[in-house]
Structures are given as structure tokens and as C-alpha cells.
Amino acid sequence: MMRIPLQLVFIVTLAHEVLSPHIAHAQPGAGSVVRVLVTYQQVDPFLPWQYQAPAMKSGYGVAVSSNLILTTENLVRSARLVELQQPRAGEKTMADVLISDPQVNLALLRVGQNMPAMPPTIVEIAEQLDRNAPLTILQINETGEEQSGGGRVLQVGMNDLPSAPYACLSATVISDLNINGEGAPAIQDGRLAGIFISYDASTRVGIMLPAQLLARFLSDARLPPYEGFASAGFSWTPLIDPAKRAYLRVPPEEDGRGILVLACFPGTGARESLKPNDVIVKWDSFILDNLGFYEDPDYGRMQMSYLIKGRRKPGESVPVSIIRDGQPINIVVRLSRWDDNQNLIPENFSGDPVPFLIDGGYVLMELTGRYLRAHGANWERVVDPRLVQKYLFERHQAETQGQRVVILAGVLPDSSNIGFHEIRNAIVTSVNGQMVANMEDVFKTVDKDGGLHRLTLKSVGVDIVVDQIARQEVNERLAAQYRIPFLRYRPPPPRQR
Amino acid sequence: MKRKPHFYFVAWTASCLLSLPPLSTAASVSAIRASVVKIHATFQIDDYTMPWQAERPMSGTGSGFIIEKKRILTNAHVVSNARFLQVQKDSDPRRYPAKVLFAGHDCDLAILQVDDPAFFQGTTPVTFGKALPRLNDEVIVLGYPLGGDRISLTRGVVSRIDYSVYMHSGVDQHLVLQVDAAINPGNSGGPVLYNDKVVGLAFQGISWAENIGYAIPLPVIRRFLDDIKDGEYEGYPELGTATFGVKNDALRKDLGLPKGKSGIVVYYVDPFTSAYGILKERDVLLSIDGSRIEDDGSIKLDGESVLFAEVLERKQCGEDAVFQVWRDNAEISVRVPLKRWVDPFLYRHRYDQKPKYFMLAGLVFSPLTRELMMSLERTPPNRQFHQLVYCMTYAKMDDLYHGRDELVVLVRRLPHPINTYSDSFVSGILVEVNGSFIARLEDIPAALKKPLNGFHVLKFLGMDDFLVIPAEAASQATEECLTQYGIPAASNIEKETSK
């Protein structure tokens, strides 16, 4: 059973959206860039029944077909309204987000019906970023004029995305153009070589998603269902220390090779075939060095995660050579799409609605990284150390699929819950005497029992008890007093894949 | 709960020193001033991340006053970690060497002894008052604060009588007397007088507030003097129950507590305290020694509303407290013998105790202490630091204490080729060496005697990764680190435990 992130919006078909032949020849890529104006809104981390004030941001998109615009996922994240604006034009055109994937920070927009007369020029995607050829970067200046500048690729590799907890193929680019928005395209030899996700004006260095990643994303998007990028589902560490290698009885002929498996996540292929303390010496027939790099036929020295995310797809299985208990063995590891939502404590970086329940004024929800960070820059010192420790040390350590940390985030004061007003950020272990592993368990229990009767908190030997006679009345009063439109949000069950 | 971990660090007030106003009781004060002494201390704090050595010695001054038996009463924080102590009277240029006879770190009180009988010539022991002054009663503070060399007097009124954390230990809470008389650095240990009698001892202030000075009140001083009568300071016993008031009707119904009864319900009992095994979770404490406990934890004592803990505050180890308890739908009487409070997982400030350490191949291990945390706080915090904070707060509640005498921390890595891949473990809590559980620092040398296939394998709390040191090369690496980093010994365990 796979959880599908909410950001993925599936479309019936994109097959007819073939690249049309309107390719500009005069100025390479000229006319292909549009300004993307986004109004976005995220759920209030503390009051999960309401949204934060809508805010705006802008960046760029690039036309990849007559009505499809490629941009970054981060730009259109939590979008309420997406509008496009062409160079030298004030008119705005609405667009929909067709697909967005935070694992590669890419999104595909479909242009609305009433696009102004001049359509953007379409740019063809290069097969691959040429690391040695110069780049022409396009954007729009304050007067609405298209602007371009040069850039040079410094490095290509798997790097952590700044926008979400995933690593992805990206290029480091030095540019003399002060890139003023994400999504700005870079052209190489008349074709799209990449789009920028960040730029630091002080060092003049930006991070760009390269053409091959864009091409893969687009071809996946054109053939629904969108499959996304693969993951194996384990954590590892370099294995350099000779003492540790000797202790693990890695044979001397493997010197300089191999990484150490630390943990395998539940519900993944790694959990089925790998074990902690396995030493992976070969992945998908590529030899891994002791830092986790291999020699890629296209890129040279490359991080192993590219073998999974770049060269394979979810659902495929790969041959893996390991040293287990001093013995070399060959195994097969199944790849699947891994999502941050499968963690014990997900980040919820998108600010999506989270499941919550308010009963008797007790606000129950699942712990997320976003909730913790909402306590301020020094949240690690402000939030209860138990929750901080859980996040810093155990956030990947779900014992079963779907396990979460259920917390009593706080209590909405009312005469019925006097005596418990001060409690907040406490871990809930049981509801109505039933152990709960996530909010879904909470909903099932309270629905079966006709409401919340009692709450057991970790290390607290006295349950919080809810008066059943007045429950309904209390809930109505609380909803009215604290202006809560609905006292629970139970997301629809995850879709089967 | 009596102990609260969260409290502002209280430093000394920085307000200007008041000039001495003429006093109506000038004559009686002049008799007392001869008994108020200045204490000169040179102290040195141990370096908890390089536990074989100490930091630079520092000096400071405080105040104290002469009591019966030719003793001087002062604050424990004035004389803690002292390497050299001298006392001086107001009208006498000579300084006399002194030594600490008793120190109560939980109540910030200490007794000094001066061997030279000449010191006591012309002095009379101060007299203590019979009862605490009340709000708005005028008090004076004597002592040797900054701003000059000679004795100083400030005057004010009692602003509040309350419970507060005693910053010297960082965790203990007792009664305090809040006064608006200026109390400044150096005043510590000086007497607070009401009607020419000592009713308190000046000890702490709040740095960002105005006219808030705290004194240790008479009952705390009396208890301390009683405690040391047998020649030993045992300290306060701790009941050890975490409670909240039964204010909620649904909870009251759930506990079956009849109308007319009130109290506080126990939700956790600390395993190192007097109530452990005697009081239970879901017990409702109805009264203590015959005084009815209200649902905010207060009782009526001498006509005043005070926390029920005040009854315990006045008791010594070995005495009992008797509770009326609502348990399993019946009222019963429960006697709790109060015992000495020894709790290795209570992270009080430590004084006059050298940190234990053990060094293996450049990896320095030492128990988790509040002092260690203060040292680590100076370095940029990493996730290990936050785990240590968690352990300080929840080691007992979350059962990490089980089977352990202390938590052992890798406090420092002294770089050496043998440990060069070990940085991610620094500040981690050591839980296992060669498959053996580490319950205390002393377990490390024993576990090292049984390497696994020629390797020492070290595991840390919350970490999937582990640390490996080749056993044969380890002792030589230890020796090399001693020379390389100028360390006198690889461990002080035997020395410290045989003390």
C-alpha cells in the first residue's frame, strides 16, 4: 500500500500534448519564458482547522508545448491561483497545476483558455545538459523585457533540494545574470538545458535542474499514471574506517569499496532484502566506493542515489552485491516510490491540511516537522525536549507503515476541561483505552465508541477524562466560541497503487 | 510537583548601591555589624569537557555572620568550589583563614569555621527572630556588596513571601523572602534584620528586574541548623510525587471522589524519592498531617494559605508524613517515611566534586551532569546536545534510568588516527561496549576486557551507527594521547570511587 502525496494531481491523458514546432530560431529560446504569479495558502500549524493568510510569490516558467508550462514545484506549492504573464505584457492568464512532484521540485502547468494573442515560443528540451557548453539564462526584468545572461556549469550531482527533504540530480551553475526568480530557464544550443531552483547573488552561484531530469519528468507526466522517482528505502553511511571494515569482515579485495547499511524503512524493498550492517559493494552492477560514489557512464563519478532515482523507476528490481556476516552474497532489491509522508514524523513541508480531532476541547493531531518549526527559529530549545528528541533521532523510525506520533497539541479552555488547560505538546499513547499509532486509529476508536472518553498521555498515570453527558453541547459551544468550522479533518484513505 | 526545571537564571542585581540612611536603631545595628563578616574566596571550577583539569581560579567576596558555637553562617554559593577562604571583620584589617564545615547545596547555606580564636574577640552571635516578618514590615540588609570595602546597610520592606527556585542548585525550590532593599553582588550571605533580629539571609536577585532581592527565610535556616546537629548534613527529603489538582468534574467522577472531598491526584512517582512504592498513580492526596489539601495543592498553616509542601519543608529525613489518601474508592491513611534523597538523575549543580572520566584511545567519557551541559552549551548545539537535554528532563519518566547509575557521555574526542572517523558520536550517550550494557562509567574498563573478535564496539543511544576501535592498538593509542595532549592519567575512576 503506497501513500500518494496530495500534490500529485493526475490527469486523464497528456499524450496529445506533443511538442509543437513553434521553435524560435532568431534568439535561442527567446519568447519561451513567462512570469508565473502564484497566490498560495497553507494550513495554520497551530490551528489546523483554518488557513494562514494567502501570500504571493513569483518566478518563471518555460513553455514546453502550446499549452504546457514547466516550472518548479516549490513555486506553485499550495497554490490557490496561478497566473502567467508574458514579456512586455500586463495581461494575466490563469493556469492549472497538472502535476507537481516535490521529490524533483518540478511542476507542469496547463495554460487557461484565454491566453493572449501571442503564444509563448516553445522550446525543445535537450536530451542532456552539456557540462562544457555555455548556458544562456532567460528571465524578465522589471519593465517586462526579456533579459538574458551567460552561465557555466560547475558540477552535476545528486544534491539535497532546498525545498523538500529529497536528493535530486542538479547542477551548480555560476552566472553573471542576477537570477531573480526560480524557474528561470537556461538554454544551450537553442534547447532547454535546465531550470533554476535557487540563486545566491553574493556568490553568483545557482542550482539548476538539468535537462535530463526535466525530460524524464515530462515523459512520465505524459503517460499517466505518474510514477515518479524511485527509492530503495534504507539509510546508510560511508564505510572508510579500516577498523570498522575489519570488524564487519569486509574482505581485503573489497578495499576502498562498499557502504554500510544502517536502517531499512518498513514497507520498502530494502526492508525485504537488506539488513542493518550489510555492506553494499555493488549496486545495479556498478561498483560503489566507500563514500557511496560510482563511475557513471554519462557523468563520471556520481552518488549512488542516482542509480536509484536517475537510472531506475519505481517497481523495478535491481541486483545488489553485499557482504553480510563476512560473506559475499547477491540479492535483489525492489525499488518503490518513497515519500516523506511514510516517516514516523513527516515534514509536511507543503503545509497541507493535517488530520486532527477536537473533542471536549482537546486538540489531537500528528506531529510534523512543520509543526515543530512553527514554534520559532529556536524551536529545538522551546518545544518539549521529548518531541525534539523524537524528531531529531526517530523521525525515520516508524515500526509499522503509517505509524505516527499522536500529540495532544493543546486544550481549548472551557468549563468542562478545567484542570487540564495547561497541557500541550504531550504524546498520546491511548484513546479510550485503545493504543493509537496514528490519527486514523484515533478516528476509528472514537467513531466506534461514539466519541472521545479518555486520553492516556505518555508517562502520565492519570487519564484525561471527558464528560460524556455534556460532550455534544461542549463541542458545539467550543466550535462557536473558538470559531472552528469543523471539529475534525479525516483525510480520505490513501489510494491503492 | 515541587521541582521545576524551567527557571530564569538569576544573577545579581546591577542597580546602584544606596547610601546609608540614618537609622533609628543605630545603636543595636552597631552591635550586630561587628558580627557581620566579609568572606574572601578563591574558587576554581572543574573543566567538564577536559575533566582531568580545572579552569582558571577566580576570586570573589561575599558576606556572612557569626552564630553560636563560633561558627559563621553564609551562602553555600559563596564558598563552593573554594580553594582558599578567608574571613574579615568590619573593623579589623586582618584576614583569617576559614574552612567549610557544612554545605547544604539544596538550600544554599553553609557553615564556616575559623580556627584562630582571636577572630571572635569582640563579637557576639546574632540572635534569630521568632517568626517571619509580614508584608510591608521594614527590614534592613547588612553585608559587603560591591561599591566599597566597608560594611553596607540597605533598607526596605518585605514585598512577598513565596516559593522560588534556589539558583545555586538549579532545581530545588523552597520558601523565599522577597525584599525591596538593594541586594547586590557581595551581599550574599549577609543577614536580613527585622527588629534587630535575623529573619533571613540575602542570597539572590533577578538581573533584569528592579528592587527584587531574595533572602533565605528563617524556617529554611532553622531547618538547616537542625539538620547539621548530628554532625552531618542530609538535606531535604523529597516526596517525589507529580500531581495536579482534581478540579475537573469528569476526572472527579472517574476517580470516584465524593462531593466535599478535595485534593490533588498523583500522576507520577519519582523512583528515587520517599513516596516511591508507597503512594501510587491515581491516589488523591486529601490531607497531610491533618491539614486538608485544596485542589490547588494549598493547605492552611498558621492561618496562612501555603503549599502543602511547606509541611514537608520543615521535616528532617527519618521523620514521617501522614496522608489521607483516596485510593480505589476508599479513604485510607498512608504514612510516608521521609528518606534521604539520593538521585543520580536529578541534574543539580555539582560543587566540590571532581568529574569522573575515562579515556580510551582519545575518546573521553564522563557522566552526564548539569555542569557538562553548561560546557557543551558554549559549543554550537548539535542533535546530540538536544538528546542530552531530553535525558536530563525525561531519563526517569521515559525509563532510561532503568538499570543505570548514570548516563555516560562521550564528552570529547582527542584526535588520533585511531579515532579519526568518530566525530559523529561526540556528545552521544554510550549504552553498550562489546555487547555489555553500560550502567555507569566504571563499567567501561570491565567491558573492554572482552573485545569482540579483536575490536571494541561502542554503541550510542538513538544511533544506528556504531564506533569501532581495534582492541590491540587501543592501549597504545591511549598512552599516545596522554603524552600528545598533556593529560596526567587516562582515568580517575579508581581515585574518585575509593574516596
What is the DSSP track for B113-152? E---GGGGTT-----B-SS---TT-EEEEEE--TT-SS-E
Contact (CB<8Å) B247/A467: no
Give the global pTM.
0.89
Is residue A225 over pLDDT 50?
A: yes
Q: CATH number of the domain at A28-229, please? A: 2.40.10.120
Locate cell 524560435: which residue? A24
Is residue B13 over pLDDT 60?
A: no
- The percent of residues in chain A predicted with pLDDT above 90, rounded, is 79
Category of A460 on φ-ψ map: left (φ > 0), alpha (ψ -120 to 50) or beta:
beta
Is residue B207 over pLDDT 90?
A: no
How many contacts (CB atoms, under 8 Å) link A and B? Answer: 103
Residue B68: the pLDDT is 92
Contact (CB<8Å) B387/A393: yes
Chain B residues touching chain A at CB-CB below 8 Å: 244-251, 253-254, 265-268, 280-282, 295, 381, 383, 386-387, 389-390, 392-394, 397-398, 418, 420-421, 452-455, 457, 462-466, 468-470
Contact (CB<8Å) B250/A466: yes
Contact (CB<8Å) B254/A416: no
Best B294, B465, B472, B476 residue to mutate vs chain A (most A CBs within 10 Å): B465
Looking at every residue in chain B, the average pLDDT score rounds to 89
CA contacts within 13 A on the Cβ side of B157 = 6
Is residue A420 a contact partner of residue A366, using CB atoms and an 8 Å limit?
no
Is residue B41 over pLDDT 50?
A: yes
The secondary structure of A255-313 as a DSSP string is: TTB-EEEEEE-TTSHHHHH--TT-EEEEETTEE-BTTSEEEETTTEEEETHHHHHTT--
Closest residue in A to B270 (Cα) is A459
Q: Which of B40, B46, B63, B77 is catalytic?
A: B77
Q: Smallest Cβ distance to A244: which of B251, B390, B468?
A: B468
CA B482 to chain A, closest CA, distance in angstroms equals 22
Q: Smallest Cβ distance to A419: which of B248, B381, B468?
A: B248
Q: Is B80 helix (H, G, I), strand (E, B) or coil?
A: coil
* Residue B155 binned pLDDT confidence (cut-offs 50, 70, 90): very high
Question: What is the gyration radius of the CA atoms in chain A, in angstroms?
Answer: 25
Contact (CB<8Å) A392/B386: yes
Residue A15: the pLDDT is 37
Q: What residue segments make up the domains of chain A, in order of their start? A: 28-229, 234-334, 341-489
- Cα separation, A24 vs B339, in Å, equals 88
* Residue B162 binned pLDDT confidence (cut-offs 50, 70, 90): confident
Q: What is the DSSP letter of A227?
A: -
Is residue B439 over pLDDT 70?
A: yes
Neighbouring CB atoms inside 10 A of A344's CB total 23
Residue B27: the pLDDT is 52
Does the annotation mark B226 as catalytic? no
Does the annotation mark B77 as catalytic? yes
Q: What's A406-475 look like in SS3?
A: EEEEEECCCHHHCCCCCCCCEEEEEECCEECCCHHHHHHHHHHHCCCCEEEECCCCCCEECCCCCHHHHH
Contact (CB<8Å) B418/A386: no
Is residue B192 over pLDDT 70?
A: yes
Q: Compute CA distances B247 → A2, A417, A418, A454, A466, whole Å.
A: 46, 9, 6, 16, 13
What is the average pLDDT across B19-26?
40
Can you state the percent helix, strand and coil of chain A, rounding each to 5? 15, 35, 50
pLDDT digits (tens, 9 = 90+) for A275-334: 999 999 999 999 999 999 999 998 889 999 999 999 999 999 999 999 999 999 999 999
- Answer yes or no: CATH 3.20.190.20 is held by domain A341-489: yes
pLDDT digits (tens, 9 = 90+) for A126-151: 998 998 999 999 999 888 888 999 99
Q: Which of B46, B106, B108, B172 is catalytic?
A: B108
A277 CB burial (10 A radius; 0-12, 13-18, 19+): middle
Chain A residues touching chain B at CB-CB below 8 Å: 235, 237, 240-241, 243-244, 246-247, 260, 262-263, 276, 380-381, 385-386, 388-389, 392-394, 416-420, 454, 458-467
Q: Smallest Cβ distance to A385: which of B280, B394, B454?
A: B394
* Residue B28 binned pLDDT confidence (cut-offs 50, 70, 90): low
Residue A331: the pLDDT is 97
Residue B89: the pLDDT is 92
- Cα separation, A43 vs A434, in Å, equals 29
In terms of pLDDT, which residue wins out, A113 or B257? B257
- Cα separation, A1 vs A267, in Å, equals 8
Q: Smallest Cβ distance to A385: which of B280, B390, B470?
A: B390
With a threshold of 0.85, tell me whether the complex ipTM lies above it.
yes
pLDDT digits (tens, 9 = 90+) for B445-485: 999 999 999 999 999 999 999 999 999 999 999 999 999 99
Contact (CB<8Å) B250/A388: no
Residue B10: the pLDDT is 26
Contact (CB<8Å) B468/A247: yes
CA B472 to chain A, closest CA, distance in angstroms equals 11
* Residue A16 binned pLDDT confidence (cut-offs 50, 70, 90): very low
- Cα separation, A422 vs A269, in Å, equals 44
A chain contacts of residue B249, beta-carbon cutoff 8 Å: 416, 418, 467
A chain contacts of residue B389, beta-carbon cutoff 8 Å: 381, 385, 388-389
What is the average pLDDT across A17-24?
36
Q: Smallest Cβ distance to A263: which of B249, B453, B464?
A: B464
Contact (CB<8Å) A389/B268: no
A193, amino acid identity:
A
Q: Is B247 helix (H, G, I), strand (E, B) or coil?
A: coil
Question: What is the gyration radius of the CA atoms in chain B, in angstroms?
Answer: 26
Strand partners, B365: B358, B410
Residue A115: the pLDDT is 58
CA B277 to chain A, closest CA, distance in angstroms equals 14
Q: Which grid cell sits at B96?
A: 583569617
- Answer yes or no: CATH 2.30.42.10 is held by domain A234-334: yes
Q: Which grid cell sits at A170?
A: 542538479
Task: Note the helical H segments in A131-234.
Answer: 211-222
Residue B102: the pLDDT is 96
B24, amino acid identity:
S
Q: Is B27 helix (H, G, I), strand (E, B) or coil?
A: helix
Residue A492: the pLDDT is 86
Contacts of B498 (CB under 8 A, 6+ apart): none
Category of B48 on φ-ψ map: left (φ > 0), alpha (ψ -120 to 50) or beta:
alpha
| Cα A315 to the center of its chain, rounded Å | 19
Does the annotation mark B28 as catalytic? no
Is residue B414 a contact partner of residue B364, using CB atoms and an 8 Å limit?
yes
The secondary structure of B401-451 as a DSSP string is: TTT-SS-EEEEEE---GGGTT-GGGTTPEEEEETTEE-SSTTHHHHHHTS-
Contact (CB<8Å) A419/B245: yes
Residue B205: the pLDDT is 82
Contact (CB<8Å) B468/A454: no
Closest residue in A to B250 (Cα) is A467
What is the average pLDDT across B28-54?
90
The secondary structure of A347-388 as a DSSP string is: --TT-----EEEETTEEEEE--HHHHHTT-TTHHHHS-HHHH
Closest listed residue to residue B54, CA positions, set B43, B64, B63, B46: B46
CA A387 to chain B, closest CA, distance in angstroms equals 9
CA angle (B17 as vertex; B11, B23 as ends), nearest 5:
125
| Furthest C-alpha separation in chain A | 77
A chain contacts of residue B284, beta-carbon cutoff 8 Å: none
Best B418, B468, B469, B476 residue to mutate vs chain A (most A CBs within 10 Å): B468
- Cα separation, A462 vs A407, in Å, equals 16
CA A458 to chain B, closest CA, distance in angstroms equals 8
A473 CB burial (10 A radius; 0-12, 13-18, 19+): exposed
Contact (CB<8Å) A386/B394: yes
